Chain A
Amino acid sequence: MAGLHKSDFKNPVVNWIDTRLPVFTMMQKEYGVFPTPKNFNYFWNFGALAMVNLMIMIATGIFLAMNYTPHVTMAFDSVERIMRDVNYGWMLRYAHANGASMFFIVTYIHIFRGLYYGSYKAPRELLWMLGVVILLLMMATAFMGYVLPWGQMSYWGATVITNLFSAIPVVGDSIVTWLWGGFSVDNPTLNRFFSLHYLLPFVLVGVIFLHIAALHITGSNNPLGIDVKSEQDTLPFHPYYTIKDSVGICVYLIVFAVLVFFAPNFFSAPDNYIQANPLVTPAEIVPEWYFLPFYAILRSVPNKLGGVSMMFGAIAVLFVLPWLDTSPVRSAKFRPIYRILFWVLVVAVIALGMVGAHRPEGAWVTIGRLATLYYFLHFLVILPVLGKLERPLPLPESISRPVIGGGPLPAGATAKPMEKV
């Protein structure tokens, strides 16, 4: 039956609201007393950092939009005006442009954290898949944002990426024309990209809400990858992790500020300060750094449809990762072989990033193909097989009682070397 919520809050105003709409109780439950594993390391900061980053993007973006003009003849000049004439416009734009880079740094670390500690495994499969949706939305948002200043890289990046869809058999060309709203990237394209660039961050907010809702059902994973056994293993989120996250946020803001104020063009391509010219492709077109590994996979396959499929496939494998990894042990800490292969994957992805930044010539082609091969082998072959072959190290009995020094273990722990998940 419907009824008023019984609120424990003392403040009469808070209590009055909470009785009718228990948001204070909810916040208290989810962020105040929320039981959180007590052994987090600093890699568990990156979710909170991503949240802060998204808020910075939305705030700077809304104020940029007040001075931005989405029209092919005016967009470039309106961004230059933001840089030169609008009060603090330079700061808003540099914060927004570098904020996108920071967002991807933070998110990629967040994802690799999940890979290392097995956070995608049961029961957190859906939580992980929502994360992959967030990554896709971020990519779409950043791609369309990069088109808005209407520089040479904006224009040609948009041309190449939208043309990826022309690889689809039969309907490909109609899809591309539909995406463009014309026969090339032009004013209709810029208009709709602005509209969608404004919309998608708010869709992101929605999906992130679901991501966190799912997290608060399963609870957080932790560096040992074992389940929380009792209250002894946890701490209330506040003040312990609000403080730990605050430390991380300070470091993050320092790095961000150094970028914005001392190296604002560190990540940007100089060609984007030349206005878009549909008749001249710049000699070297490279996407933003955060797309380079995927771009390298695209170029490693000497076939149009093949390259495009592999590029999208690189993200699709992440979707099904929870079912590809057959090992019941989560944390790489207790998986001696997986731990090494994890770092091989990191090296392969960084190598792909470097390959993506260079012309596809000579050794770069070979490195690109090898790294692409490893990427897919890792997920599609190694992980399914490794779970069956690898002998995991004994798991500690609980978070409160980790294995110390690797000496003989209590009988219970050796008898049950694998966590039942």
Chain B
Amino acid sequence: MADSMSATPMTGTHGHPSGGEVTKRDFLKLVAGAGAAVGVGAIVWPLVDSMNPAADVLALSSTEVTLTPIEAGQAITVVWRGKPVFVRHRTPKEIKEAEDVKLSALIDPQADSARVKAGHDQWLVVIGICTHLGCVPLGNAPSDPRGEWGGWFCPCHGSQYDTSGRVRHGPAPLNLAVPPYAFETDTKIKIG
């Protein structure tokens, strides 16, 4: 080793094979290098982490929605944490379609009953963000295309969702997410 303390590498019972002797200087270099790496990391981390959501952005907010004005077959968009949330009043036919699908026919298998609140299965509440690359799918306005499965159609790359908000046609890999929410009364929900 070039930086070995002894000019002629020691061989024999104590030395490492092929003259790769470990010296005090190697040890010091390693410790100094490791110390420097930790130091740089300690400086870089605050910079990197400053780009993560700040405390005010993280502060949870909740949104209340009154359901009475939404007619069967209609859906509205509300905002929760800056994201669109779809609240859809499903018709009996749409509920039946959502319940009758075989799970094996789904891209992201999930039963309809797991996506609505028991006893309120006419109400579907999902985050209105396509799980492909984040566009807002069409299907809430009466004039919107709803795709082959009668749910939502994403204009960006053609993903389609059914009346339970489950993805039925790619490229989206996952169902529309269900946000945390609860029924405060039969006609009012609180999201978040």
Residue B2 CB within 8 A of the other chain: no
Residue A343 CB within 8 A of the other chain: no
Residue A304 CB within 8 A of the other chain: yes
State which residues 138-188 of A face B: CB under 8 Å. Answer: 156, 159-160, 162-164, 166, 177-184, 186, 188
State which residues 162-190 of B face A: CB under 8 Å. Answer: 170-173
Q: Which of A177, A181, A284, A301 contacts B155 (CB 8 A)?
A: A284
The reply to whether B84 and A181 form a contact with Cβ atoms under 8 Å apart is no
State which residues 1-54 of B face A: CB under 8 Å. Answer: 48, 51-54
Residue A279 CB within 8 A of the other chain: yes
Chain B window 68-92, contacts with chain A (Cβ cutoff 8 Å), 1 for yes, 0 for no: 0000000001010111100000000
The reply to whether B52 and A177 form a contact with Cβ atoms under 8 Å apart is yes
The reply to whether A182 and B51 form a contact with Cβ atoms under 8 Å apart is no
A280 cross-chain contacts in B, Cβ below 8 A: 136
Residue B105 CB within 8 A of the other chain: no
Q: How many A-B residue pairs have CB under 8 A?
A: 87
Residue B157 CB within 8 A of the other chain: yes
- With A302-B170, A304-B132, A304-B171 as contacts: A160 and B156 at CB distance below 8 Å: yes
Q: Which of A188, A192, A285 contacts B57 (CB 8 A)?
A: A188
Q: How large is the interface on B (under 10, 10 to 19, 20 to 34, 35 or more residues)?
A: 20 to 34
B135 cross-chain contacts in A, Cβ below 8 A: 156, 159-160, 281, 285
CA distance A303 to B169 in the complex (A): 11
The reply to whether B170 and A182 form a contact with Cβ atoms under 8 Å apart is no
B83 cross-chain contacts in A, Cβ below 8 A: 183-184, 278
A281 cross-chain contacts in B, Cβ below 8 A: 135-138, 154-156
State which residues 344-359 of A face B: CB under 8 Å. Answer: 359
Residue A299 CB within 8 A of the other chain: yes
Residue A283 CB within 8 A of the other chain: yes
- With A186-B82, A188-B57 as contacts: A285 and B51 at CB distance below 8 Å: no
Closest-by-CB residue of A relative to B158 is A360
CA distance A159 to B155 in the complex (A): 14
B136 cross-chain contacts in A, Cβ below 8 A: 279-281
CA distance A192 to B154 in the complex (A): 28
Residue B118 CB within 8 A of the other chain: no
CA distance A182 to B132 in the complex (A): 18
Tell me how far the C-beta of B155 lies from the nearest C-beta in chain A, rounded to whole angstroms.
5
Residue A307 CB within 8 A of the other chain: yes
CA distance A180 to B52 in the complex (A): 8
Tell me how far the C-beta of A184 lies from the nearest C-beta in chain B, rounded to whole angstroms.
5
B155 cross-chain contacts in A, Cβ below 8 A: 281-285
The reply to whether A278 and B82 form a contact with Cβ atoms under 8 Å apart is yes
Chain A window 228-240, contacts with chain B (Cβ cutoff 8 Å), 1 for yes, 0 for no: 0000000000000
Tell me how far the C-beta of B111 lies from the nearest C-beta in chain A, rounded to whole angstroms.
24
Chain A window 278-301, contacts with chain B (Cβ cutoff 8 Å), 1 for yes, 0 for no: 111111110000000000000101
Tell me how far the C-beta of A187 lies from the nearest C-beta in chain B, rounded to whole angstroms.
9
The reply to whether A181 and B52 form a contact with Cβ atoms under 8 Å apart is yes
B52 cross-chain contacts in A, Cβ below 8 A: 177-178, 181
Q: Which of A178, A192, A284, A302 contacts B171 (CB 8 A)?
A: A302
B79, B82, B158, B170, most chain A CB atoms within 10 A:
B82
A182 cross-chain contacts in B, Cβ below 8 A: 53, 57, 82
Tell me how far the C-beta of B120 lies from the nearest C-beta in chain A, rounded to whole angstroms.
24
Tell me how far the C-beta of A274 lies from the nearest C-beta in chain B, rounded to whole angstroms.
15
Q: Which of A156, A163, A183, A303 contacts B53 (CB 8 A)?
A: A183
B79 cross-chain contacts in A, Cβ below 8 A: 279
CA distance A180 to B170 in the complex (A): 25
The reply to whether B171 and A307 form a contact with Cβ atoms under 8 Å apart is yes
CA distance A182 to B52 in the complex (A): 7
B158 cross-chain contacts in A, Cβ below 8 A: 359-361
CA distance A188 to B57 in the complex (A): 9
The reply to whether A159 and B57 form a contact with Cβ atoms under 8 Å apart is no
Provide a sorted-by-A list of 9 A–B residue pairs whose CB atoms are within 8 angstroms: A159-B135, A160-B135, A180-B53, A182-B53, A278-B84, A283-B138, A303-B171, A304-B172, A359-B158
Residues of B within 8 A of A (CB): 48, 51-54, 57, 77, 79, 81-84, 129, 132-138, 154-158, 170-173
Apart from A184-B82, A184-B129, A281-B156: 14 A-B pairs, beta carbons within 8 A: A159-B135, A160-B133, A160-B134, A164-B133, A166-B134, A179-B51, A183-B83, A281-B135, A281-B154, A283-B138, A284-B155, A303-B170, A304-B133, A304-B171
Residues of A within 8 A of B (CB): 156, 159-160, 162-164, 166, 177-184, 186, 188, 192, 278-285, 299, 301-304, 307, 359-361
